[in-house]
Amino acid sequence: MAWKPQVIAFYLPQFHPFKENEEWWGRGFTEWTNVGKATPLFRGHYQPRVPADLGYYDLRIPEVRNRQAELAKEAGVSAFCYWHYWFGNGKQLMEMPLQEVVRLGEPQFPFCLGWANHSWERKNWNADVSRVSKEMLIEQSYTGDEDIKNHFYTMLPAFKDERYYKVDSKLLFLFYAVADIPDVDRFMSIWQSLAKENGLPGFYFVSHVKMKSLIDEPAYNKTDAKNLSLLMEPWNNQDGFKAKVKRFVNNHFLRRPLFTMNYAKAMNMYDSELFEREDVFPTIVPNWDHSPRLGSGATILYNSTPELFKEHAKMVFQRIKNKPENRQIVFLRSWNEWAEGNYMEPDLKFGKGYIEALRSAIEECR
């Protein structure tokens, strides 16, 4: 029987200058600054990564956002999940691209929000340094009911937008770190009440889960569903003897950063029987390499190809094919995390390869 997975792609709205970035890192800084200065750390390491069709774009430009949506449609992506930053007391960052999407009514492409509720710490954004500074830049705070209400009303224009992605006719809203919210039940209750008061259908809350062992922890079971991401699975449980030997070989003989893995091996770790549960939405991962941010302290997948990504996507899609149609949802991490080597957009090496691979994997589900 034909079926079609719904693929929701995480979207980073960082690629434009804003005041705080310039204060911290210098005038004109965006993620492209890190992407452009990246260098290879070992033989065959794919760096730097150079964007093709869209170039080093600026998200203040409507034509860029429209072209991103066109490419996402071509890939078979169902919606963007914009990372949304609300630090408490009304403080936002990187809100401009979404505000413009809502104000202009374009692109005509579904979207939802993922609240990236975590503090920002200063990092040594230097590819030659692996040490990470813990100096706090902005601390995530939770200041009570008034802030919860202010948060809702600030985002209300987006929630009222006809393009907002829905599950069971409700607005999908994802928590990045649900366990960090002091009283998430209170938060969700207030938002559900405010939704009703403002003529909205209510929320379908999803919690982002980073490890299989956390999937049934109480904090994550308070939401309607869970997005399970196994991105860091290859580097979990790295305290054993074999892991220590591997790190030693990487560092002293292969001259690689400590935490590297071949994508062909890692993608098998990105599959799980847990994905078959109706309350679990899996994650597919085209690649990962955040050495542009952390240098030799980064975790790196290498030798990813569109062909391998297609195989990985099909593997995960098979896990969800017997679910009800409204639960055949997969998150894609990510659409445009260029400084993490975690993107679908065309580059000079693969062109539209990853876009074509995802479209092909989806089409083969039919």
- 103-106-107 Cα angle (round to 5): 145
Does residue 8 register a pLDDT over 90? yes
CATH of the domain at 104: 3.20.20.80
Q: For residues 365 and 321, give the distance between their C-alpha atoms in angstroms, rounded to a whole number.
A: 8
Determine the residue type at 245.
V
A 10 A CB-CB count for 36 gives 16
Domain range spanning residue 150?
6-363
Residue 82 lies in a domain: yes
Residue with structure tokens 């590297």? 260
| pLDDT per position as a tens digit, 322-352 | 999 999 999 999 999 999 999 999 999 999 9
Q: Is residue 315 part of a domain?
A: yes
The phi-psi region of residue 219 (left if phi > 0; otherwise alpha if psi is between -120 and 50; otherwise beta) is alpha
Decide: helix, strand or coil at residue 38.
Answer: coil
Could you tell me if residue 216 is inside a domain? yes
Tell me the residue length of the chain. 366
Instruction: Answer yes or no: is 10 within a domain.
Output: yes
Determine, yes or no, domain membership for 303. yes
Quick check: is 107 in a domain?
A: yes
- Residue 1 maps to a domain: no
**Predicted confidence (pLDDT) per residue in 51-108, tens digit:** 999 999 999 999 999 999 999 999 999 999 999 999 999 999 999 999 999 999 999 9
What is the average pLDDT across 187-213? 98
Count of domains for the chain: 1
